[in-house]
A and B are shown apart, each in its own frame.
Chain A
């Protein structure tokens, strides 16, 4: 690196440089919808490379699929009673994308060689604190707030006489705790078994 900036954390990991964009919070929404048993919600967001983390309780969730066209994103989220049934599902979604080109009037701003914003201290960064397999929970210290970002879906074929069903590891999050529950999600095929993973995201003060 001839010119530019690199900032490291105590572990020697790069936090900010002028090459790769930090993902930052571009949208946060708390949504309630009617859900007597299971439910699907399509979350829309605009941005350049958008990833979503979710906080929901007592229901559990998975990220089912995604579709993007240009800078328009749709994430299809599936929610499940587990087994508590409230009749509605309330969740908070945190969308992280590349730093917006507008906004951010004070603070530290880093641009790449093309002038694209890489980091701006006015936008809250995606803070991944752990990556776990979907069949395990996670606990942060009290006082912190976490959300779960699916990195990949778990999918298992399980025989339940007289049919075969799909099971998946679903997650729910309250405060500083992420819990995992393996649930039947649909009738299914045979012979599949893949364990996915998720990122625990620190959303304290987000």
Chain B
């Protein structure tokens, strides 16, 4: 390793080295079924973007509203579409 960070846990196991990809969270938002929109943040340019999209609430079974929203990334912008029948979802987004 020429430069960079290494960390170990208390047992001496290597946890982070210069090859590790670490998730950093940019934000979180709730979206309503039927909605669409975008989030622009320069942080999306600092790694590979990801978004966790999970149905909001306590679903008892599987139904049409559990259809995941469509998420895409372009540059510093994340775009989402929760067109019907997609229901309310929670989005947690970041980079790794």
Which A residues are closer than 8 A to B by beta carbons?
7-11, 13-17, 19-23, 42, 49, 51, 63-68, 74-76, 96, 98, 107-108, 121, 124-129, 131, 149-155, 166, 168, 185-186, 188-189, 192, 194, 196, 199, 204-205
Contact = CB atoms under 8 A, between A and B. Distances in A.
13 contacts: A9-B4, A15-B5, A22-B24, A49-B92, A67-B57, A126-B22, A126-B23, A151-B50, A185-B62, A189-B63, A189-B64, A204-B13, A205-B15
Contacts of A75: 54
A65 B54 contact: yes
Contacts of B47: 13-14
A72 to B, nearest CB: 13
Contact of B20 (A15, A150, A194): A15
Contact of B58 (A67, A107, A125): A67
Interface string B1-38: 00011010101010110111111111010000000000
A149 B46 CA distance: 21
A7 B46 CA distance: 11
Contacts of B56: 65-67
Chain A contact residues: helix, strand, loop or mixed: strand
Contacts of B53: 151-152
B4 A66 contact: no
A13 B94 contact: no
A88 to B, nearest CB: 22
A128 B90 contact: no
Contact of A66 (B7, B20, B90, B94): B90
B55 A49 contact: no
B71 interface: yes
B78 interface: no
- Most chain B CB neighbours (cut-off 10 Å) among A16, A67, A98: A67
A200 to B, nearest CB: 11
